[in-house]
Amino acid sequence: MESIFFIQFNVKTPEGPQSYGHFCMGNDREAAAKVFRQLKGSPDVKEQDFLSMELMETVKGLPVNLQIISCTLDELAHNCRVISKEIFNQANMKIK
């Protein structure tokens, strides 16, 4: 079974972190990690942080966290632009 990589968005709720969306990054580990390294945020995630993003991999159909960053709302907006641009570029490179 091939691994799929994705970037998951989480928000802190009274019940704990809740995932509210993700971008599928395909099956290329290095390409997914390269995009994640471009994102703004702090790898020093604290209990009081409200927003976080995780680089995830599916292993035998189960999600596994590879990296996590906490971010502000402004950083989250920037990160969504970066991810969208990279997905667009990757999709168009495959067409050629």
The structural domain count of the chain equals 1
Sheet of 51-59, strands arranged across = 16-26, 5-13, 51-59, 62-70
- Which comes out higher in pLDDT, residue 48 or 76? 76
Q: Render 8-35 in DSSP notation, one character per residue.
A: EEEEEETTEEEEEEEEEEES-HHHHHHH
DSSP for residue 39: S
pLDDT tens track for 21-46: 999 999 999 999 999 999 999 999 98
CB 13 within 8 A of CB 7: no
Phi then psi for 65, rounded to 5 degrees?
-75, 130
Q: Tell whether the model's pLDDT for residue 64 goes beyond 80.
A: yes
| pLDDT for residue 96 is more than 60 | no
Residue 93: which pLDDT band, with cuts at 50, 70 and 90?
A: confident
Residue 69 belongs to domain spanning: 5-95
